[in-house]
A = this chain, B = another copy of it.
Amino acid sequence: MPISLGELATQFGCELIGDPDVVVKGVASLSSASPDSLSFLSNAALKEQLLTTKAAAVILRAADADASPVASIIHDDPYACYARMAAVLCPPAVVEPGIHPTAVVAASATVADSAQIAANAVVGERSVIGEQAFVGPGTVVGPDCTVGDECRLIANVTLARSVRVGVRSILHPGVVIGADGFGNAMSPEGWVKVPQLGGVRIGADVEIGANSTVDCGALDDTVIEDGVRIDNLCMIAHNVRVGAHTALAGMVGIAGSTTIGERCLFAGKAGAVGHITVCDDVIVAARTFLSKDVSEPGTYAASFPATNAKSWARQLARFRRLGDLIERVRKLEKGRD
């Protein structure tokens, strides 16, 4: 959606240094931008690229404006400003209200007139689809679900049953919400399935990545609070609560009944065992798992980066002989006395 630099700057309250009538049609990185693109400089390491950019304008901090060979849009946080302006220039696909003839909507379901139910989607009994919501192709919304206004369930998403999704949330393809949690009781005859009877409550402005899963609660609900970001192939087990604005990167797993605070960050493949409580503002490094309650904000880690395999084999052997080494030091200490 083409827009002039002047309109952009006004809409977001930024100072513009340059011609307000220049129109931009898209966004691009500094190095690949063309004269009708908007770009941004956030990472100081890319400042070199600013000097030769062909962009129409660059969003940058005031201190960098002098170095810009093109128009400047001044913002203290160029990346967040870029994110918002890019959403204006390149908006998501427009919702086309209506129910596709191949979609199947239960008689007791309620679909807002402005919502779109795409090809081969299914909406179950008593479910409610909000205004301007998009239920993408192949998506299955089971019974007793609520999909909030302006939500987007991109394609082949599954809400199993009793799932509430808040407004403006985005569920990417393959996401499964509300499947049974892993509840099993051992008996002499083998495992007995423990009925999973809770639901899932997902807040507003949540985004969940492709093929991630959030299980329903055993009795109470599993809860994902407002503004949470979950990447691909993550697993949120039953009765977990993920606090507002927390972000979980790819392949993170949170085991059952654990509570994660607000504004936490879990890097790739990180996770937490079940039945613990993690306070707000905790950062967990890649491939690190929390094994007990965390009550102190800060960064937690416990992973070993790769090294040459031969060195690693030696290192592993040394590690395994630690008991022996301790014994040798003990002997030396005795000898000294």
Interface residues of A (CB under 8 A from B): 26-29, 32, 77, 79-80, 82-84, 86-87, 90, 92-93, 100, 102, 104, 118-120, 122, 124, 136-140, 142-143, 154-156, 158, 160-161, 170, 172-174, 176, 179-180, 182-187, 190-195, 197, 205, 207, 209-211, 213, 215, 219-220, 226-227, 229, 231-233, 235, 237, 244-245, 247, 249-251, 253, 255, 268-269, 271, 273, 283-292, 298-309, 312-316, 318-323, 325-326, 328-329, 332-333, 335-336
Contact = CB atoms under 8 A, between A and B. Distances in A.
Copies per complex of this chain = 3
Contacts of A269: 253, 269, 271, 289
A213 to B, nearest CB: 4
Nearest to A121: B120
A183 B100 CA distance: 31
A28 B305 CA distance: 42
Contacts of A328: 329, 333
Contacts of A268: 253, 255, 271, 273
Given A268-B273, A306-B300, A306-B302, A250 B245 contact: no
18 contacts: A80-B185, A83-B193, A120-B120, A120-B122, A138-B138, A138-B156, A176-B232, A182-B232, A182-B249, A182-B250, A213-B233, A269-B289, A286-B289, A289-B306, A290-B305, A299-B309, A302-B305, A335-B336
